[in-house]
Structure 1
């Protein structure tokens, strides 16, 4: 499998490195599996002759050849973790050239994988319009606002589509690399996972910090503060809107635009976050924790935690042991 890794000026060092290391590990470990040849022919390519990483390290890149068609293209993240840094980065000339190249590859049927802020480059190129995607959860409000034609689900770690696959924040680069290795050989992916002490994660949801998402909009931030003070009491959209001096319709609309979910769903996120915190550090039993976050019994809370986080109460308690 020919894999071209597209490195841009100022990319996220760890994202590029972990992608290359995982694929190299797969090639090296393939010798342990009978009859399996090294599956990946990896090339680092660039739209410029000289590329420096976000840490200022020079990355050896090859020119992109119009005669060579890779089987996959991987787009690591730019090292721009806040909107004020990301938006100017998306306007750089080399990023524009990279988007042109992505469109060319896509037109030739080459699948594209992007992780973290690399997903912004693919979305900016228009290749995710009308499709599902994920991205780094911390910038999901910006992604949702900037690319309204993309069906964003930042709770997921990996979202495959006909374009390729998008992956979540930072270490999502490793999840994407393992996913690609699994396409070549499930046995090899399991072997690489054990050697790297890493598994493909299906969800970003356990890592999302609701307060961080609320910071992007004053009304949502006020709603978050109102909600946290009333987790025991249950949710009323009308009460929330009245307390915030707005209408229920406006609150619904703003939550959907910023968070991609209803006010009730966000209220549930805050309950889950609080329950996680109490499971890890309070010493309370499940029934007491359920009462603290407004549920009648521990079984109902346990079901919610597994639905939202993909892990049960026992697993969550063991996380910090």
Structure 2
């Protein structure tokens, strides 16, 4: 498999490093442990002759030539973690050239992969329009507003589509690399995972911080503050709208636009977050915790936690050991 890693100025150092190290480990293990040959021919390329990482290190890149025909192109994240940093980076001339190059590669049949903020570049190029995708959960409201044609689900760690694959935040680069390795050999991917002490993750949901998402919109921020005070009392859309001096329809619409979910679903997120906190930081049993977040019994809370986090109460408490 021939892979081009497209490096842009100011990229996320860890994202590039973990991608290259994972693929290099896979090549080594394919030879030493499986008695085969290297699976990946990896080239780091740039749309500029000189590329520096977010920490200022010079990244040795190869020029892009017509003869370069990759099977896969990987786009590591930019080291721009806020809208104020990201939007100017996406407007740079090198970003425009990178988008054009991605479109050209895709037209030639290459598949495209990106993690974290790298997914924004794919969306800018129109490659994700009409397709399911994931991205860094922390900038999901911006992504959703900027690219309304993309079917974003930031709770997922990996989303494959006909054009390639997108992955989640930061160390989602590792999940992406392991996914690519698995496409050539599940056995090799399992070996790399064990050597790197890397668990395969299917969801970003346990890592999402609801408060961070609420900061993107004044109404949602006020809704979050109201909701936290109401956790023990349960949810009423009409009560929420009255408290915020808006209509239920307006609150529903704004939650969908910013968060990609209903007010009730966001209220459930806050319940899960509070329950996790109590599981980790209190001696309360599950029945008492259920009461704290507005449920009559622990069974309902157990079901919610398993649905949202994919783990039971015993597993969540085991995290403390």
Q: Please indicate the TM-score interval, normalised by the length of the shorter structure.
A: over 0.9
Partner of 1:276: 276
Distance in 1, Cα, partners of 2:5 & 2:310: 31
Cα displacement (A) at 1:213: 0.2
* Secondary structure, aligned partner of 1:241: helix
* Secondary structure, aligned partner of 2:166: strand
Distance in 2, Cα, partners of 1:277 & 1:32: 45
Partner of 1:196: 196
Partner of 1:258: 258
1:305 pairs with 2:301: no
Distance in 2, Cα, partners of 1:88 & 1:34: 46
Partner of 1:78: 78
- Which shifted more, 122-131 or 306-315? 306-315
CA distances 1:55-109 after superposition (whole Å, capped 9, x unpaired): 0100000011212211110000000000000000000100100000000011111
* Secondary structure, aligned partner of 2:230: coil
- After superposition, residues 59-208 of structure 1 pair within 5 angstroms as 59-208=59-208
- Which shifted more, 23-32 or 99-108? 23-32
CA distances 1:34-66 after superposition (whole Å, capped 9, x unpaired): 343211111000001111101010000001121
Partner of 1:52: 52
Structure 2: gaps of 5 or more residues: none
So what's the TM-score if we normalise by structure 2? 0.99
Distance in 2, Cα, partners of 1:219 & 1:45: 43
Partner of 2:243: 243
* Secondary structure, aligned partner of 2:4: strand
CA distances 1:126-171 after superposition (whole Å, capped 9, x unpaired): 1000001100000000000000000100000000000100000000
Cα displacement (A) at 1:311: 1.1
Distance in 2, Cα, partners of 1:109 & 1:310: 36
Distance in 2, Cα, partners of 1:8 & 1:239: 48
Structure 1: gaps of 5 or more residues: none
- Which shifted more, 62-71 or 105-114? 62-71
Distance in 2, Cα, partners of 1:114 & 1:257: 24
1:286 pairs with 2:286: yes
Distance in 1, Cα, partners of 2:18 & 2:105: 23
So what's the TM-score if we normalise by structure 1? 0.99
Distance in 2, Cα, partners of 1:300 & 1:235: 15
CA distances 1:176-231 after superposition (whole Å, capped 9, x unpaired): 00000111111111111111110221000000000000001010000001000010
Distance in 2, Cα, partners of 1:34 & 1:156: 31
Distance in 2, Cα, partners of 1:35 & 1:25: 14
Distance in 1, Cα, partners of 2:114 & 2:319: 28
List structure 1 runs of 4+ shifted beyond 3 angstroms.
32-35
Cα displacement (A) at 1:25: 0.6
CA distances 1:277-311 after superposition (whole Å, capped 9, x unpaired): 11111111111111111112111111111110111
Distance in 2, Cα, partners of 1:77 & 1:122: 11
Residues paired across the two proteins, number = 321
* Secondary structure, aligned partner of 1:176: helix
- After superposition, residues 308-319 of structure 1 pair within 5 angstroms as 308-319=308-319
* Secondary structure, aligned partner of 1:194: helix
Partner of 2:16: 16
Distance in 1, Cα, partners of 2:167 & 2:36: 27
